[in-house]
Structure 1
């Protein structure tokens, strides 16, 4: 007897927009299954139903087990899934894009492939991070230098605000516990933000690999987007968590970050910022983003209807 739900997959119009979803949900020590188009989390205290289409990113902590059908519905609804350990967050899988349009992916590839527009986009990213500066005319080296100084200033300002002794950013990849509490909190906030940025990037149909600041990595664009909110959101939350207590600082940082993201409606902002960066003349999603429309390219860069035989067509 099949265990596959008889309820059909949701259409694009039925899915919750990425901007309207919960930023992330963290589960641990439970079994996750599927019930219709929802997932269920079962533990010693009972069973909780969670509508899968309302999840931006599902964080699976220690002690979790998830069924194939649960992963299937998460993929159908475009939710990101992250397996987490006790010492940080790693992003391993994403669902299909919520948008059925290739407009953002094509715009991203076009801007990335041209050296001038690639630099223009990097400058626009810098101005989104630091709107009080004008990066027009800056070289990449100048952008990197300015960014480095601003981040250092942010660390010092947050240390002074919270009263935490600050001895610089110290992080050993793969060894979360080697850092002091504030460095652990910064790492936890950064990794969680990468997961959220990856989920939104995938939901919009963009390529995670085609970055404008970062390069050479499968998540270059994800790192670009996550860094837009580092000094305003991630670093202040991390210092607040570390100042409150050194105990369980990673988990507390993630919970505080979740609350801050909800308060700022950050998912909505990420979607808007990506559209602004890749389609600066059209900063809102096209009305046909949720329809399955396939066209064919022509020699004159026109688009003609797909699904028919064009053997007798000669007008293009």
Structure 2
């Protein structure tokens, strides 16, 4: 009998894999893409090392079996259902899960305005490499960030020689956007998928944000924004400057390479811990009258939020 599967840490994985068309299934215990060319043709199997991938983006034309979804959950790989070219996000499977102690810790920081401001200030300090102005509210810091972001887009567009008229896209109709905006949308989708996988692996809730609120991925957007202009935005502008026939695919490949070059998966979880530690409060302990686990949790190779 094979030993039980155990997740490996996010930092030791590949960042993201896109799968378009075909059926995802489990054959002989392995995660595979079955490309069925016809009833008389033997299926072609493409093996995917799912345990070594942080996030798999499933594009239109992809079907996923129950066995494949269960295997992804056991090894801690996030499955994300996206639109064509990865520019829409429809749904995501949750391979990890927010641990109670970390979820309560995150919620306590988000609900206290003083603690929340400390966390937001730390986010800005990491993102821009300098301390934000003193005595500013979260709303004021958001305004400062907006101005710097618009300027950053302009500078990168000038650097790569891309005509830029501002970030403008319609989530209901991506095709009406110009090429730079389509490239940026595809690039940020890849970043959000990888970031959500890391947030879940760390044991936190994607919806409990500090700058962004009211969205299922509010905390994912908070964390992803820290790395956006270091990773995916330059990659998107570089592709838009010399567009190949399939620009969206080129953007995905460029983002994958950028994630590897910047060692992004090594950094996200430690940065999340450092950001939340800025609140300067201890994690809440379990109530004294709480019932301990009847069966002790086994030691896992994976991160804190992975199932084992």
Match of 1:233 in 2: 231
Match of 1:289 in 2: none
Matched, 1:22 2:14: yes
Matched, 1:40 2:68: no
Match of 1:81 in 2: 79
Partner Cα separation in structure 1 for residue 133 and residue 52 of structure 2: 37
Gap runs ≥5 in structure 2 = 38-42, 296-308
Partner Cα separation in structure 2 for residue 271 and residue 138 of structure 1: 27
1:118 alignment partner, one of 116, 119, 144: 116
1:248 alignment partner, one of 243, 246, 249: 246
Cα 1:201–1:91 shift into 2, 3 Å: farther
Match of 2:52 in 1: 54
Partner Cα separation in structure 2 for residue 130 and residue 21 of structure 1: 27
1:129 alignment partner, one of 118, 127, 130: 127
Cα displacement (A) at 1:51: 2.6
Cα displacement (A) at 1:197: 1.4
Partner Cα separation in structure 1 for residue 49 and residue 252 of structure 2: 21
Matched, 1:144 2:164: no
Cα displacement (A) at 1:103: 4.0
Cα 1:106–1:38 shift into 2, 3 Å: farther
Cα 1:306–1:268 shift into 2, 3 Å: same
Higher mean alpha-carbon deviation, 190-199 vs 233-242, is at: 190-199
Cα displacement (A) at 1:15: 1.6
Higher gyration radius (CA): 1
Contact 1:111/1:118, CA 8 A, preserved across alignment: yes
Match of 2:256 in 1: 258
Deviations 1:276-312 (CA, angstroms, capped at 9, x unpaired):
1123599xxx9xxxxxxxx95127xxx784549xxxx
Matched, 1:93 2:89: no
Partner Cα separation in structure 2 for residue 136 and residue 34 of structure 1: 55
Gap runs ≥5 in structure 1 = 1-5, 287-294, 309-316
Report the TM-score, using the length of structure 1 for normalisation: 0.82
Cα displacement (A) at 1:132: 3.0
More RCO (CA 8 Å, sep 6+): 2
Partner Cα separation in structure 1 for residue 29 and residue 272 of structure 2: 29
Report the TM-score, using the length of structure 2 for normalisation: 0.84
Deviations 1:18-75 (CA, angstroms, capped at 9, x unpaired):
1211111111222221135530123369322223211111111233222110111001
What is the alpha-carbon root mean square deviation over aligned residues? 2.6
Match of 2:288 in 1: 298
**Number of paired residues?**
285
Cα 1:205–1:111 shift into 2, 3 Å: same
Match of 1:3 in 2: none
Match of 1:182 in 2: 180
Cα displacement (A) at 1:102: 4.1
Partner Cα separation in structure 2 for residue 85 and residue 109 of structure 1: 31
